[in-house]
């Protein structure tokens, strides 16, 4: 698989890495099987997070079996304080069964106020810098869904990587990536399939890898089929044809702006609604014309979208500021 240097680091990473969000839905033997195949396909970069529930523990089990040195390991924390990040970091080390993290990232920094808290005297950055000086962290990065925050971060000397969404629907980060590349800052792309909304996985990843400013793309993977398909985009590296670009653009144009990326930040719902799955079934029904299939699976969901009490908690947690209540009402309208 093609490899690229991750910014100022000396990490020569595979252009397709293993996104660890879906791992939390599997068991430890399944994750071991997936990471074994990922390594065999040439992947050498793993991205996970404290926020991904059991993901770190499952990946840690697999790494212990496979060998820690086979992968560059990235994880991240939502903590913004000195003490909080120390506690989270030590937990990550324990769960991942390692004594160092290759890339430690500040996770989903949403506002300039959060950023200022991280960089304050009692903030998380001071703790991470100390951990780096102790050899427990090799490099420091930042992730966000805010282009403005990452644009500011690139102007500093504090971070060697940024992580931001990029796909055929969401290409607003292209100037940011160009600026990061000029500053020799590694660019990690999340949401390459727009949270599963784009069905043409290999084309979606090839679209991203055609951008020379990208270091690595990290699609979430939970099946052997996904490992093989996504790897192919990095192994058989060739630029997209005009026909392929048109095909991908046509699918992207059907999504509009209000669609769920299935990041899961809206969960848990107080009513127990699996919000992303409700949206996924609605997408299969309306975008991919799988009406009978989608309806049968929607009927098996419990609780459903119609159990929403409009408390609005999910909307406060969505990094894309989606009108989730309105979108759930649309799911009900489609199916009921």
Residues 6+ apart with CB under 8 A from 121: none
pLDDT tens column, 81-138:
999 999 999 999 999 999 999 999 999 898 899 999 999 999 999 999 999 999 999 9
The stretch 62-72 carries a mean pLDDT of 97
Q: How far apart are CA 119 and CA 93, in angstroms?
A: 23
Q: Which of 108, 14, 28, 27 is nearest to 66 (CA)?
A: 28
DSSP per-residue codes, 45-108: EEE--TTSTTHHHHHHHHHHHH-GGGSEEEEEE---BHHHHHHHHHHHHHHHT-S-EEEEEE--
User: Using one digit for the tens of pLDDT, what is the confidence trace for 28-38?
Assistant: 999 999 999 99
Q: Among 2-11, 257-266, 272-281, which range has the highest average pLDDT?
A: 2-11
What is the distance between the alpha carbons of residues 142 and 121, in angstroms, rounded to a whole number?
A: 18
Least confident range of 132-146, 274-288, 320-334: 274-288
Reported as a single tens digit per residue, the pLDDT across 182-223 is 999 999 999 898 877 787 888 999 999 999 999 999 998 989
At residue 302, the 3 state secondary structure works out as: coil
Q: Which of 214, 218, 125 is nearest to 176 (CA)?
A: 214
Contacts of residue 172, Cβ cutoff 8 Å, sequence gap at least 6: 147
Radius of gyration of the chain (CA): 20
Q: How far apart are CA 108 and CA 13, in angstroms?
A: 22
Q: Which two tokens stand for residue 143?
A: 């992730």
List the domain boundaries for the chain: 3-251, 275-335
Nearest CA to 26 out of 46, 52, 50 is that of 52
The top-level CATH class assigned to 3-251 is alpha beta
């Amino acid at each position: 698989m093609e490899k690229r240097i991750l910014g100022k680091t000396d990490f020569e990473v595979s252009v397709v890495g293993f996104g660890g969000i879906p791992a939390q839905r599997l068991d430890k033997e399944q994750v071991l099987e997936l990471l074994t195949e990922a390594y065999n396909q040439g992947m050498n970069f793993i991205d996970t997070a404290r926020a991904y529930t059991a993901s770190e523990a499952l990946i840690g089990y697999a790494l212990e079996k496979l060998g820690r040195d086979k992968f560059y390991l990235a994880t991240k924390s939502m903590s913004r304080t000195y003490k909080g990040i120390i506690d989270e970091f030590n937990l990550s080390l324990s769960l991942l069964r390692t004594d160092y993290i290759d890339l430690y990232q500040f996770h989903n920094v949403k506002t300039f106020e959060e950023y200022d808290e991280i960089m304050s005297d009692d903030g998380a950055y001071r703790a991470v810098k100390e951990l780096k000086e102790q050899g427990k962290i090799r490099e420091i990065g930042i992730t966000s869904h805010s282009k403005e925050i990452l644009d500011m971060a690139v102007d500093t000397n504090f971070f060697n990587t940024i992580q931001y969404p990029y796909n055929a629907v969401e290409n607003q980060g292209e100037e940011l990536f160009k600026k990061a590349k000029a500053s020799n800052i590694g660019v990690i792309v999340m949401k390459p399939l727009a949270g599963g909304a784009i069905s043409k996985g290999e084309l979606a990843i090839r679209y991203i890898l055609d951008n020379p400013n990208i270091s690595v793309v990290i699609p979430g993977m939970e099946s052997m089929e996904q490992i093989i398909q996504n790897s192919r985009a990095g192994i058989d590296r060739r630029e997209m044809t005009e026909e392929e670009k048109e095909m991908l653009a046509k699918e992207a144009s059907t999504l509009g702006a209000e669609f769920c990326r299935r990041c899961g930040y809206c969960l848990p719902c107080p009513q127990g609604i699996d919000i992303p799955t409700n949206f996924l079934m609605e997408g299969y029904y309306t975008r991919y014309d799988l009406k009978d299939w989608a309806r049968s699976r929607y009927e098996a969901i419990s609780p459903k979208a119609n159990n929403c009490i409009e408390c609005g908690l999910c909307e406060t947690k969505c990094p894309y500021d989606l009108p989730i209540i309105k979108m759930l009402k649309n799911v009900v309208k489609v199916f009921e």
